[in-house]
Amino acid sequence: MGFAAQRFNVNLSILFTELPLLERPAAAAAAGFGAVELWWPWVGSPTPERSELDALKKAIEAAGVRLTGLNFYAGQLPGPDRGALSIPGEESERFRANIDVAAGFARSLGCTALNALYGNRVEGVDPAEQDALALENLTLAARAADEIGAVLLIEALNKPESPRYPLVSAPAAVEVVDRVNEATGLGNARFLMDLYHLSMNGEDLPSVIERYASRTGHVQIADNPGRGAPGTGSLPLADLLDGLRKAGYDGWVGLEYRAGDRPSGSAFDWLPVEQRAAR
């Protein structure tokens, strides 16, 4: 069944980026989608002005799309930074300042998934110190997510593109999920299974699906090589998503790929319009 059995949303931080942020929700709706997700949109500010938050909320509501996923503040994405919560000093403090802001924005739009990127290793800092800080901050984030009825997502990235990021395998990310759940007792930390990142790490994707589908709170896709739309690379994405469905995953699948040198609105020809409108 592959693509036909899935609920898709569009990541507005990697698609429709040729448009200003406030125009992207309407563009996604015009392409037929009923749901969107976002990285933290204000790269330089974990605590933007209320007017900026309100303007984005209004744009999402006016477009008639649902916000299904939101990242906590994570520094510069895409770019050299990969998360903030495990980085001692100012970045960790910025992450903490963002927790209630991001959770409040998510609550205002009924968003039920918050993604917390772990953060790069820092030269001269003991990894154990970073891991302790990460657990402390992830515990705070999990509790904030629980208060709004959301899950906290923990994501593995890929080593070629993020060589200083420590969670570059499914087992490494799931181990952190387990630590957070043990620390909070809430059970709302979940694995974010990004099939592109895992494929870049050379993981056996059917095996990952078999082992971790039940621990997964969100899925993201892009083809490999190239991080383009399904069909532009060699990943059997329809088969992999079918495997996820058979393993019991019935959540959202985020489209987190690059449109390339064409407008984003033309980068969905692989997906029939009638399969885009889930809310």
Catalytic residues: 155, 256
- What secondary structure does DSSP assign to 114-132, as a single string? EE--B----TTS-HHHHHH
Q: Which residues contact 142 (CB under 8 A, 6 or more apart)?
A: 152, 180, 181, 183, 184, 186, 188, 189
Cα 228 from Cα 215, distance rounded (Å): 26
Q: State the helix-helix crossing angle for 127-147 and 90-108, rounded to 10 degrees.
A: 20
The closest alpha carbon to 14, from 30, 31, 34, 37, belongs to 37
Structure tokens at 181: 């759940």
**H helices within 64-219, ranges in order?**
90-108, 127-147, 170-184, 195-200, 205-212
Structure tokens at 193: 């299974």
β-pair type (189-194, 151-155): parallel
The closest alpha carbon to 252, from 172, 193, 174, belongs to 193
Residues in a beta bridge with 154: 191
